[in-house]
Structure 1
Amino acid sequence: MSLLPELNEIKTIGKVKCFFEKEFPTLQNMAHTAFVDIKSPVISGMPVSHSADNGAEAKVTLHVYAKDILNKVIISCGGLDYDHRHVLELRYFKRLTWSEIEELTGYNRGYENKRLNEALLQFAWAFADVEDLRVFKDK
């Protein structure tokens, strides 16, 4: 008997893809961050707020929150093996098309897509302490 319930891989992959396609770009915008690659993000300095306005305070709070989550994404990606981290980086950090990824790696789209799905599953486990994107099968 397994200690963990069985992972629903298809739904987990869908949930992690949604995170990278929808939430991740929003977090980057909130953090004023653009990723060149996983190891060398270009991060602007903290915004300075001289106003006692709650709107400005909320913006700074969201900025700090987004930077924290993005840092945790990078740390979680660090737990993936190179091949899986690389395809995740190309697709979601560098926002390359499948054609560009194929050209860069020399592998066909089917192979790269399989590798990306494996990377998304690995990421789901690595990121679980931050946000649990895993979906388990019902018993």
Structure 2
Amino acid sequence: MDLLPKLNEQKTYENVTNFFKRDLERIVLMSGSRMTDLASPNLNGAPGSSNFNNVEINLINGLDAQNIVKSVNDALHYGVDPVSKKILIGLYINHQRWVDIQPLIYREHTSFSVYRKHALISFAYSFEGWQVKNHCDKVIKLIETE
């Protein structure tokens, strides 16, 4: 008996990659933060709720941008293992090349793809959980099942 449905790994990789490349920066900007804020465990640049127009943000695709950004931050810093964290922040937040990240994770360049895929899957599961914990209005589902 399987507790969880079978994961469609390829589709999940694509969903997470597309989220980081296409959606995250827009959500971060809508929240009043900066992409560089995600490299730090604390969102120091995030404005307080008094400076934030929740009505406007909720109208845009029904997203609560601040809670989503907090969920991304929590998933990156508290939800994935240290190697995955370095890979995800390096590739998608700092826009580094994989050859620049490889020495930081002390892994062979030939195995980087395996570690990157693991990082993407770990982030997908963690991000979904953090969205629930952070009371996001609408949970963005990156996990695809068969």
Alignment of 1:74-85 (within 5 A): 74-77=73-76, 78-85=78-85
Alignment of 1:78-117 (within 5 A): 78-102=78-102, 104-105=104-105, 107-117=107-117
CA RMSD of superposed structures (Å): 2.9
How high is the TM-score relative to the length of structure 2? 0.72
Q: In the aligned structure 1, how far is the partner of 2:10 from the partner of 2:80? A: 19
Alignment of 1:11-90 (within 5 A): 11-34=11-34, 35-36=36-37, 37-46=39-48, 48=51, 58=56, 65-77=64-76, 78-90=78-90
1:120 Cα shift? 0.8
Q: Which moved more, 1:76-85 or 1:36-45?
A: 36-45
Mark the runs of 5 or more structure 2 residues left unpaired by the alignment. 133-138
**Letter in structure 2 aligned against 1:58:** E
The share of aligned pairs that are identical, in percent, is: 23
Q: Which moved more, 1:5-14 or 1:108-117?
A: 108-117
Higher helix share: 2
2:141 paired residue among 118, 126, 132: 132
Tell me: CA distance 1:65–1:17, structure 2 relative to 1, closer, same or farther (3 Å).
same
1:16 Cα shift? 0.8
Q: In the aligned structure 2, how far is the partner of 1:45 from the partner of 1:124? A: 26
Q: In the aligned structure 2, how far is the partner of 1:59 from the partner of 1:133? A: 21
1:136 Cα shift? 0.7
Q: In the aligned structure 2, how far is the partner of 1:38 from the partner of 1:123? A: 16
Number of residue-to-residue matches in the alignment: 131
Mark the runs of 5 or more structure 1 residues left unpaired by the alignment. 50-54
How high is the TM-score relative to the length of structure 1? 0.75
Alpha-carbon contact 1:38-1:89 (below 8 Å) kept: no
Is the radius of gyration larger for structure 1 or structure 2? 1
Higher strand share: 1
1:61 Cα shift? 7.2
**Letter in structure 1 aligned against 2:70:** N
